[in-house]
Every structure is written in structure tokens, then in C-alpha cells.
Structure 1
Amino acid sequence: MNETRLQPLEAASRFIAAKFPNCQAALLAGSVVRGEQTATSDLDIVVFDDKVESAYRESFIDYDWPIEVFVHNLSSYKDFFKLDCERARPSLPRMVSEGLVISDSGVVRTIKDEADELLKQGPAMWSEKTIETKRYMLTDALDDLIGSTNRAEELFITNTLANAIHEFVLRTNDQWVGESKWVVRALNDYDEDFAGRFVQAFDMFYRTGAKGEIINLADEVLQPYGGRLFEGYSMGKGDRI
């Protein structure tokens, strides 16, 4: 990590002053705000500018920092809030909620309150039909893993299972889901013990090829909803188009 470069907030402040001097507000978010930065971390900056016609993101290298800006006008962010909540991955609401104020013309408090309320509400509950479909898909991937004797294929089946198990346990408990490194973070936010067993199960497979802990974990999350599902599952039968 470059110890001679500007501190994150100072670099972000200079960047906004140079690139977006007339914006209504700007926030610094991401790993540098949470104290989780690494040698490759960038600066995530959310900009609110009522002169831009539509939302966009853009990448820069400035002040010895990689910088990612997420630019919105004072209405476009609402659409992104809605889309993020519908997919149960609240990326923008989280950035706004945790963000440190770089500049503010008086709009930040209202936008932060909106983000905080959405995060507090959590994602919409899954319907019984959605749970049934997810049970079937998880069962299908689990059967593929149990029956597979091809190591190359197993590597990618387990990737599918990791995402499916994490999504199932979180969504059935009305929790936000994650992607990439946020998978483990979301599980930790929900239940640190479960997150630890989840990581152990997949680590064991990748190190040794042992499938047992993954199988047990999948059965554990499925059990309260009827367990594995294959026989009798139907989708589309009798539906009208």
C-alpha cells in the first residue's frame, strides 16, 4: 500500500472539487470507510448532480488512487434503490447509508434517511412458490454434486451450490444477499456460526474433495421447508399465457 498518497477522504475531497465542483452532494463509501481496505482497494464515491440526465459510473486513477464514481441526479438514485432492493442486494443504499459526506448542499440527510429505511425494512419475503422453485434448483445442483465423479465439473457445481445455499438461507430469513466477497459478509451479518460452517464446508471440498459437509449444509437449510424436492415439482403446468 502506498503510504505517501493522500488519505482517502482528502483524496476524495480534492477529486470532487476538481471533477464535480457544482454537484449537490458527494459521499465516500466502500472499504476505506469501513476500515477494510487492502492494497488494491479503490475509492467508491457517490455523486448527486441534478445536471446529469441519467445515472452512470466511471473509473479514474487520480491522486494515486483508483476511483470509482457512481453519478446520479436527484431522482435516478431512487430507481437504483428500488432495483437493488428487488434483487435483494442493496449496493447503492448501503453505500449511501455508510458514506462519509464529502460535500452537501443540504440534500444528503433526506437521501440517507431513505437508504437507512430501505436497509432496515429488508428485502421482500419470498412467496411459497419461489421457495419451492429454489428448493428444486438447490436439490438439482446437490444431486449433480453427489453423483459427479468429474473433478473439473465438481468445481463449478460447488460454485452454484455456494450461491444457492447462501441465497436460500438468507432470503428465507428475510435477509439481504451478497455477491462475490459480500456472500460471506452477508452470511456473517445474519449468523456468524452458520457463516463459519459454510466457509469450512466449501474450504474442505476445495482442499480435499470431500463433499459431506456441503451436502449436510444444503440439507440443513432445506429441512425447515420440506427438504429436497424433485418428485411432484411442476412449473408452468396449467398456467395461462
Structure 2
Amino acid sequence: MGEINKLSAIEAAHQFIHKYFPYCQGALLAGSVVRGEATETSDLDIVIFNHTISSSYRESLIEFGWAIEVFVHNLSSYKHFFKNDVERARPSLPRMISEGIILRDVGMMDSIKKEANELLANGPAEWSAETIKTKRYFITDALDDFIGCSNRAEEIFIASTLAELVSEFVLRTNQKWIGASKWIVRALRNYEEDFANHFVEVFDHFYRTGEKKPVIELVDQVLEPFGGRLFHGFLLGKK
């Protein structure tokens, strides 16, 4: 009965803002409900801009039949998060603001959205040759562990580490944004659909069958344009 009477995402977001942030200068509804990807467990991501807030914060609540994640900023604090998101190459806040539906605006949301859109379009900083070399080494190290491991339980977790390292390498060497959890595969698909599908198939095949060869071949294909695996001669921190 509760589900039948559940408010729509937009209506719930409007009521939430009216109840908790009636005097805010701007508000956005973002996340899966905006992208048309909502599931039964999806929450509402709401971004608030309020000049009376001294520092940014995040809060989780259940209101109006929805789990709600609210991200509260003043009119300058969001810039610090933009900067941090660029440095880590995971544009969480810029993406929310870019895709978000404006729920309230006193005349500043267009400029903040423009900042977010420009940041997303520019992509993350290019990796240096030294960073690429270091990443090659750590991928090689994980791959060697994967190849040599005969313990099924350990193999599963090494494969998970390898998948994360390789996905990051592919995306960053192509100056694309990375992600975590479900955003890893989304970031790969944003980069190249065919590669993303192959990447998922290779690791899914390993998890189902235990066959390592396709994973090893994929890793070698990714590393090959940059010099392949790296172990001998790698230095880190030596003066």
C-alpha cells in the first residue's frame, strides 16, 4: 500500500526542499532517477546551494517514501569538491550538477552548471610518463600474482584488483574519467562500448570457469602499446 502511494521523485524532492531548505538559493535532483536508471533500491540525490551554510556536508535521510542523499554546499564550497574530483579523476559532484534537474534557482544555477559541463568536457589531467610506468609495474605485479596463484579464493580477489587497475589504466591513458563500483563499467562504456563489453566478458568468464588465459591476454593487450609488462629495472623512491 505504501508503494502505491509513494510520491514521484520530483514531487518528493520538492517537498523535501520545502521542508528542510525553504530559503536555499539553488537545488538540483540528480542520480539514477534523473538518468532513467532507477531501481527498487534507488535513492534521491539532491544537491543544495545555501549561502548560510558555513561548510559543506552530506546527510542521509528517509522522507516522503524515499531514501534521500543530500549534498549541501554554500556558494563557493562546491569549487573545492570540483577541484578534488578532477584530481582523483572521479567527477561525482560535477556529474550530479551537470545532469541534475533544477528544482530551485535564484539566478546562479546556470553558471554552476556551465562550470560542471566545462570540467566534464575537459576530462582529467593527462598522466605523466612516470605515472604510466608506475601503473604498468603494479599491474604487472598483480598479473604475476594472478598467474601464479592456485588458491581459488585468493584468485577471485586478485582478479578484482586486476580489473580495477586495468580499467583505470585504460581510461586514464585515454584521458577519460574513471569510476568506482558500478561506475567502473559505466566509465568504460562511455569510453568505448566494444571494449567495455569485452572487458566484462573476459572477467565474467574467469569468475564462472576459472580460466585465466583471456584475462592474461586482455591485460597484455592493454599494456603492449606502452611497453608491455614491467618489472626489471623499475625504481620507486631511490635517490
Q: TM-score range by the shorter chain?
A: over 0.9
Distance 1:141 1:160 in 2: 7
SS in 2 for 1:22: coil
Distance 1:152 1:17 in 2: 50
Indicate whether 1:142 and 2:143 are aligned.
yes
Offset of residue 210 of structure 1: 0.8
After TM superposition, the structure 1 stretch with the greater mean CA deviation from structure 2, 1-10 or 189-198, is 1-10
Distance 1:3 1:68 in 2: 22
Partner of 2:237: 236
| TM-score, length-scaled by structure 2 | 0.98
Partner of 2:206: 205
SS in 2 for 1:89: coil
Partner of 2:36: 35
1:70-89 to 2 correspondences below 5 Å: 70-89=71-90
Distance 2:218 2:75 in 1: 44
Offset of residue 6 of structure 1: 1.0
Offset of residue 206 of structure 1: 0.8
Q: Structure 2, unaligned stretches of length 5 or more? A: none
Distance 1:143 1:109, change over 3 A: same
Distance 2:89 2:62 in 1: 31
1:209-224 to 2 correspondences below 5 Å: 209-224=210-225
Identity of aligned residues (%): 63
Distance 1:60 1:147 in 2: 47
Question: What is the letter of the counterpart of residue 189 of structure 2?
Answer: N
CA offsets 1:180-215 (integer angstroms, 9 cap, x no match): 000000000000010001100110111111111111
Offset of residue 2 of structure 1: 2.8
Question: What is the letter of the counterpart of residue 77 of structure 2?
Answer: S
Question: What is the letter of the counterpart of residue 192 of structure 2?
Answer: D
Distance 2:117 2:154 in 1: 42
Offset of residue 57 of structure 1: 0.3
Offset of residue 48 of structure 1: 0.4
What count of residue pairs does the alignment treat as equivalent? 238
Distance 2:17 2:215 in 1: 47
SS in 1 for 2:15: helix
RMSD in angstroms over aligned alpha carbons?
0.9
Partner of 1:157: 158
Distance 1:104 1:14 in 2: 15
CA offsets 1:108-159 (integer angstroms, 9 cap, x no match): 0010000000000000000000000000000000000000001111111011
Distance 1:176 1:237 in 2: 31
CA offsets 1:75-94 (integer angstroms, 9 cap, x no match): 11000000001000000000
Offset of residue 3 of structure 1: 4.1
CA offsets 1:65-108 (integer angstroms, 9 cap, x no match): 00000000011100000000100000000000000011111110
Question: What is the letter of the counterpart of residue 50 of structure 1?
Answer: H
SS in 1 for 2:5: coil
Offset of residue 4 of structure 1: 2.8
SS in 1 for 2:216: helix
Q: Structure 1, unaligned stretches of length 5 or more? A: none
Partner of 2:188: 187
Distance 1:214 1:29 in 2: 35
Distance 2:33 2:137 in 1: 40
Distance 1:3 1:139, change over 3 A: farther
Partner of 1:109: 110
SS in 1 for 2:229: coil
Distance 2:124 2:212 in 1: 31
Question: What is the letter of the counterpart of residue 191 of structure 2?
Answer: Y
Distance 1:88 1:4 in 2: 40
SS in 2 for 1:178: coil
Partner of 1:52: 53
